[in-house]
Amino acid sequence: MSALAEFQTLTDTEEFFDFFDLDYDERLVYVKRFHIMKKYGELVEKANGNDFGSDKKLLDYYKFALITVYKNFENGYSPSAAEVWDTFDKPSACSTCSTSSECSDEEEVSNGVHACTSQPDISFN
């Protein structure tokens, strides 16, 4: 398995630090896990579609991104309440089709659940 393929199987915060052989404070990761991974995920997403020339350079970017995010939290960065609640206001997947990649339009329905507007209307008339 290539290093990039192995990276793509990682799921736990600690696995990312171990993969890149980075030291980290277990208490900080335990407390800030969600926020670290949210910010890291945003940086990883920015890399999509860019040509880094090689898997090694892409993995170097991923490593640098993790170091950057971790150091920000280590130095006292704390997301605002608006940033935290913004995460919950924008679901990552549509409750109708359960995908985030296929849905681009969402509309609020009466019970507060987001439904994909690209789904066909079902009528029982």
- The rounded average pLDDT for each run of 10 residues, N- to C-terminus, in the chain (125 residues) is 94 96 94 91 90 93 94 73 48 47 44 45 44
Q: Do you know the residue count of the chain?
A: 125
Question: Residue 120 carries which DSSP code?
Answer: P
Residue 101: the pLDDT is 46
